[in-house]
Structure formats: C-alpha cells, structure tokens
Amino acid sequence: MATRQLDRSEWKAYFDRVSKALGAKLVEIEVASLDIGDQVEGEWIPFMGITYDHKNDVVEVALEGVDHLVRRPQAVYVDEDAAEGLRSLEIVDGDGRKHLLTLKTPLALPAPEPA
C-alpha cells in the first residue's frame, strides 16, 4: 500500500485512466472537516467514473444515480496497492474539507442454480 500526492498536472489524465480501468467497483464517500465533522455522503454506490474540469475547477465523481462534486480542489492523494490497484482517493477542497472515496469490489456470488 502506497499513498502519494498527485501533481495538479496529472489529475485529468489519472482520473480518465481510473474511469476506464476500474470496472465494477463500489464507492463510499465521506466528507470531513472541523466545521461539519465526518459526514457519509454515500455508502457503497456503484462507481461510474471521475473527471477533473480545469475550466470550472471541479472534480466530478459520477456514481449510479448521483454525482459528487468537489469544488476548487487543492490536493489529491491516492492510495494504491500493487495487487488491488486503487483503494482510495482523498481530495481536499478549497474550504479545507477532505473528501475520502473508498473503493471496494462487490462480492461475486455464484449464479443461482435452476430449480
């Protein structure tokens, strides 16, 4: 497991690569800061993709049925593992709030047997 900070110049290309490569993942989003405490914004929602729009200075996390926006991102940290790949992302917004995205692979259950 290795956590590293991405340079702003890497954000768009990294998020594009993640969106294409992740496949079926579930995401839990937690937002934390001194003024609001820890707030769970979404629990284990199917991940659709992530992008950085430099014109509007916003990171958009697309989930099934909802989008999570991080305005004026200041820093992006990624936690990657050689075997599992991307495990989590932490994005710090312009107000100092931390948006933590934890990823997991859904449990693959065997198909039901015909009756």
pTM of the model: 0.86
**How many Cβ atoms sit within 10 Å of the Cβ of residue 93?**
19
Q: How many domains does the chain have?
A: 1
The answer to whether residue 112 sits within a structural domain is no
The answer to whether residue 88 sits within a structural domain is yes
Instruction: Give the pLDDT confidence score for residue 39 in this predicted structure.
Output: 87
Tell me the three-class secondary structure of 8-62, residue by residue: HHHHHHHHHHHHHHCCCCEEEEEEEECCCEEEEEEEEEEEEEEEEECCCCEEEEE
Instruction: Name which of 34, 33, 25 is nearest 85 in CA terms.
Output: 25
The answer to whether residue 59 sits within a structural domain is yes
The answer to whether residue 109 sits within a structural domain is no
- Give tens-digit pLDDT for 51-90: 999 999 999 999 999 899 999 999 999 999 877 788 999 9
Instruction: Give the pLDDT confidence score for residue 23 in this predicted structure.
Output: 74
End-to-end CA distance of the chain: 44
Residue 79's domain comprises 2-104
Q: Is residue 109 predicted with pLDDT exceeding 70?
A: no
Own/partner contacts of 4-8, CB < 8 Å, gap of 24 or more, are 4/77, 4/78, 4/80, 5/75, 5/76, 5/77, 6/76, 6/77, 6/78
CATH for 85: 2.70.180
The answer to whether residue 86 sits within a structural domain is yes
Order of all β-strands in the sheet with 85-92? 2-6, 75-81, 85-92, 98-104, 26-33, 37-53, 58-63, 66-71
